[in-house]
Structure 1
Amino acid sequence: MREIGKPHPRLPLAAPGEEDDPARFLAWLGEAIPLVEQLGIREMRRDGECLMWELDLSPSLNDKGTGFGGALTAQTTLLGWCWTTLWLRRRGLARDVVVAEASQRFLAPVTGDYRLECTPEEEGGPARLVDQLAEKGRGRILLRQRLWCGETLCLEARGNYAVLAERRVENGLQSGT
């Protein structure tokens, strides 16, 4: 059981040249963030720079029988966090990621199971993040999430995700570098 105020241990990085196993990452994520088990994520996959989730609607129903905006917002925010975390992990970096800013625009009701996709907002975003990490040890990336119910775009979200400076441990105390 998770303890308030105590960070969950990080998932060990995959061996060099290997990628994270999506099922293993989702299992760890469910331990690290207990809410994840209630989100209805059936599958996670990556296609180039796009990270996708397939989700069941039933855990996120509202009183009208469609998708609850708060649940959908939490999912888009978390998907962006996963995109950034997995992007870092593919580069051998285990770093803390936080959402700095997020916005959503609801376009149509979510009436069935759906797909969430997350991609960089700008083509050069990942390269800029590489440069920021090299220069300052921290950085930000703008991501866009889209929720599709069949062929209908139901929600567009945007998030600004911050990669925090690496922490070092001195005399048992953590400090930012």
Structure 2
Amino acid sequence: MVRKAGVPHPRLPLPAAGQGDDLAVFQRWLGEAIPLVRQLGLNGMAWQGDALVWNLELEPNLNDKGTGFGGSLTAQATLIGWCWTTLWLRSRGLLQDVVVATASQRFLAPVTADYRLECLPRDAEGPRGLQERLDTKGKGRIVLVQRLYANDTLCLEAEGDYAVLPAPPSA
């Protein structure tokens, strides 16, 4: 399917009640919905407790110095936060749009090998607060942190504020 500007990609159907997403299916849909994803070297995603974890290849993300390109790493950090929030909503039977409101990052060391990117709520109470705002206002926000490790060295710390938009009116 060729994507066109201004045309939303069809939503992935929700998982069965009480079931989480099949992350391999979600990753395939993500690559269709956001074509850039197919170029990022994403080898897989998994939940580890409250953290969404991606394994990524360095080679498609190299810069001119032979290390990780900051633009790719920043895009990946932003995207994993979007995925965390989207998957969290989907696990609750909600199909609401998610956007990043603010994002920041600190580069701590060069990325010189394949790497792992982790995303989790900044505050343990973040998901509960988001659920309360969704229940009362139909929209909400959550702050997520992302950490990138190459050979167990912390190379990047990022933070994003993700907004969950109100659900569209039923047709």
Is the shorter-chain TM-score for this pair beyond 0.5, marking a shared fold? yes
Task: Tell me how far apart the structure 2 counterparts of residues 117 and 131 of structure 1 sit (CA, whole Å).
Answer: 25
Name the structure 2 match of 1:107: 108
The corresponding residue for 2:62 is: 61
Q: After superposition, give the CA deviation of every residue in 1:98-119 in whole Å (9 maximum; x if it has no partner).
A: 0000000000000000000000
Aligned: 1:147 with 2:151? no
Deviation at 1:169, TM superposition (A): 4.9
TM-score normalised by L of structure 2:
0.98
Deviations 1:26-69, CA, capped at 9 Å, x for gaps: 00000000000000000100012100000000000000000000
Q: Report what 1:7 is aligned to.
A: 8
Q: How many residues align?
A: 170
CA deviation after TM superposition for structure 1 residue 17, in Å: 1.7
| Long gaps (5+) in structure 2 | none
Specify every segment of 5 or more residues in structure 1 that has no aligned partner in the other structure, as ranges: 171-177
Aligned to 2:76: 75
4+ residue stretches of structure 1 with deviation over 3 A?
A: none
- Deviation, 1:128, is 0.3
Provide the alpha-carbon RMSD of the alignment: 0.7
How far apart, CA to CA, are the structure 2 residues paired with 1:149 and 1:27?
Answer: 25
Q: Helix, strand or coil for the counterpart of 1:167?
A: coil
1:113-124 to 2 correspondence within 5 Å?
Answer: 113-124=114-125
- Percent of matched pairs sharing the same residue: 64
Query: In 2, distance between residues paired with 1:68 and 1:86?
Result: 27
- The residue matched to 2:128 in structure 1 has which SS? helix
Cα distance in 2 between the residues matched to 1:31 and 1:123: 32
